[in-house]
Amino acid sequence: MVLGAVAASCLMPFHRAPQRVQPVQHVHSPMLACLLAFALALGVKPNKASVDAVSVSLRKPFTARSALTRVPGTSLLDTPMFNASRRFALLLVGLLLQSCGTSTNEIEKNTVLDVQAVHRNALTIDAHADIEIPGQPSSYVGLDGLSKVAPDKMRAGGLDAVVMSIAVGPKPRTAEGYAEARRIAEAELAAVVSLAADPASGAVIATGPDALHAANEAGQLAFILGLQNALIFGQDPAAIDEWFAAGVRVFALTHMGHNDYADSSRPLFVAATGQREPDAEHGGLSDLGVAAIRRINELGGIVDISQLSRQAALQAIELSSAPVIASHSNVQALTAVSRNLSDEEIDRIGATGGVIHVAPFRGYLFDSTNPELDQAIRDVRRAAGIDEDYLYPFELYWEIKDAEIKARFLADVGALLGEINLDRMLDHIDYIAKRVGVDHVGIGTDFNHGSGIAGFVDASDALNVTLGLLARGYSESDIAKIWGGNFVRVWQQSDKQ
Question: What domains, with CATH codes, occur in the chain?
Answer: 2-118 (no CATH), 122-365+420-495 (3.20.20.140)
Of 247-261, 338-352, 412-426, the range with the lowest mean pLDDT is 412-426
Rounded Cα distance between 300 and 493, Å, is 8
Task: Return the higher-pLDDT residue of 396 and 266.
Answer: 266
pLDDT grade, residue 472 (50/70/90)? very high
- Which of 478, 474, 462 lies closest to 18 in space, CA to CA? 462
Rounded Cα distance between 312 and 283, Å, is 7
φ, ψ (nearest 5 deg) of residue 225: -90, 130
Q: How many CB atoms lie within 10 A of CB 184?
A: 20
Mean of pLDDT over the chain: 82
Please tell me the predicted confidence (pLDDT) of residue 391.
81
Query: Cβ-count burial of 268 within 10 angstroms (0-12 exposed, 13-18 middle, 19+ buried)?
Result: middle
- For 30-61, the DSSP string reads HHHHHHHHHHHTT-S---HHHHHHHHHHHT--
- Which of 161, 157, 243, 153 lies closest to 209 in space, CA to CA? 161
Indicate if the pLDDT at residue 476 is higher than 60.
yes
Q: What is the mean pLDDT of residues 374-403?
A: 88
Distances (CA, A) of 82 to 17, 42, 89, 292: 21, 8, 10, 58
pLDDT grade, residue 140 (50/70/90)? confident
Q: Are 488 and 212 in contact (CB under 8 A)?
A: yes
Q: Are 326 and 359 in contact (CB under 8 A)?
A: no
Of 200-204, 391-395, 425-429, 441-445, the range with the lowest mean pLDDT is 391-395
**Number of residues assigned to the chain:** 497
Task: Name the pTM for this structure.
Answer: 0.79
pLDDT, tens digit, 9 for 90 and up, residues 39-85:
444 343 333 333 343 333 333 333 333 333 333 333 333 333 333 34
Please tell me the predicted confidence (pLDDT) of residue 497.
73
End-to-end CA distance of the chain: 45
Indicate if the pLDDT at residue 157 is higher than 90.
yes
pLDDT grade, residue 205 (50/70/90)? very high
Angle at 411 between CA 408 and CA 415, to 5 degrees: 135
DSSP 156: H
DSSP 15: -
Rounded Cα distance between 229 and 256, Å, is 9
Q: What are 222's strand-pairing partners?
A: 161, 204
Q: What are 308's strand-pairing partners?
A: 264
